[in-house]
Amino acid sequence: MVFFEDHGVEEKESFEFFTLVNENFPLHFHRAYELIIVNEGELLVTVDKKEYLLQQNDVAFIFNNQIHEFKTVNHSNITIVIFSPELIGHFFMNAKGYIPENNVIHLREVPDLDTLNSIYWQKSFLYDICGRLVDHTRLTPVEYSSKTKVFYKILLYVDKQYSYDCTLKAVAKDLQYDYAYLSKLFVHMTNISFTEYLTQYRISQACYLLKNSQQTISEIAMNCGYNNLRSFNRNFKKITKLSPSRYREIS
């Protein structure tokens, strides 16, 4: 499964970071830039089908719209930094349409991100990373095929319409493509059907709302595109192995 996250779509300067321990995260992409910093242990990071084994003080610099995932190897403690392209506007404008040949750099010492309490310190840190990356590797032109562009359009449509009656037929009509072509393309790119992906996406959004909102389970189901609470509960348990109420209780 590949899914789109809305980091960076607000097109304003934003900077956030958080620590994860022994976590895995599936294939996804977003408009924001991302740094994956390994504090301890080992992490297997895949970026546009390239695999990197990261160790302590290694940093993966993910460009916007690069498809990536990471998996813990035995043990990992990592920091994720997600920031809008506008925060490093000069680099962003010059790097548009390019990606690194090698996404990974090594730092002798990782700064304490809690001390970056102003936008100036944040920009200083990020531009230092940009400089190290450019010194370390070449930036090469992105060569997205027409199929990849169509695939991204499907994912973006789901991101906007998942709360509503979101079907592949509606996508085909909106994008003005043949339904059968989009169906085959989606399976080819993800190894799952559009319906399976939509279900996974809706349940992932439901998990977020269960953790981070006071909405009732019925409200969450409706906001995630389910008119039938029984269907929502069934799909939620199938994917998470827990009921929505139990998931909220232990989150």
DSSP code per residue over the chain: --EE--TTTT-S--EEEEEEES--EEEEE-SSEEEEEEEEEEEEEEETTEEEEE-TTEEEEEPTT--EEEEEEEEEEEEEEEE-GGGGHHHHHHHTTEEES--EEE-SS---GGG--SHHHHHHHHHHHHHHHHHHS-EEE----HHHHHHHHHHHHHHHHTTS---HHHHHHHHT--HHHHHHHHHHHHSS-HHHHHHHHHHHHHHHHHHH----HHHHHHHTT-S-HHHHHHHHHHHHSS-HHHHHHH-
Do both 18 and 104 map to the same domain? yes
End position of a domain, from candidates 141, 164, 186: 141
End position of a domain, from candidates 96, 114, 141: 141
pLDDT at 160 over 80: yes
CATH of the domain at 10: 2.60.120.10
Do both 197 and 123 map to the same domain? no
Do both 97 and 218 map to the same domain? no
Do both 154 and 243 map to the same domain? yes
pLDDT at 22 over 90: yes
Label residue 178 by pLDDT band (50, 70, 90).
Answer: very high
Short-list 80, 84, 16, CA closest to 45: 80
Do both 93 and 134 map to the same domain? yes
Number of domains forming the structure of the chain? 2
Instruction: Give the range with max mean pLDDT: 11-15, 35-39, 45-49, 236-240.
Output: 35-39
Do both 179 and 135 map to the same domain? no
Do both 86 and 200 map to the same domain? no
CATH of the domain at 165: 1.10.10.60
* In contact, 121 and 70? CB cutoff 8 Å: no
Do both 15 and 105 map to the same domain? yes
Do both 182 and 110 map to the same domain? no
Do both 89 and 170 map to the same domain? no
End position of a domain, from candidates 113, 141, 169: 141
Do both 172 and 89 map to the same domain? no
The better pLDDT of the pair 192, 43 is held by: 43
**Distance between CA 11 and CA 212 in Å, rounded?**
23
pLDDT tens digit sequence for 80-112: 999 988 899 999 989 988 899 999 999 999 999
pTM, to two decimals: 0.65
Do both 150 and 77 map to the same domain? no
Q: Which domain holds residue 160?
A: 146-250
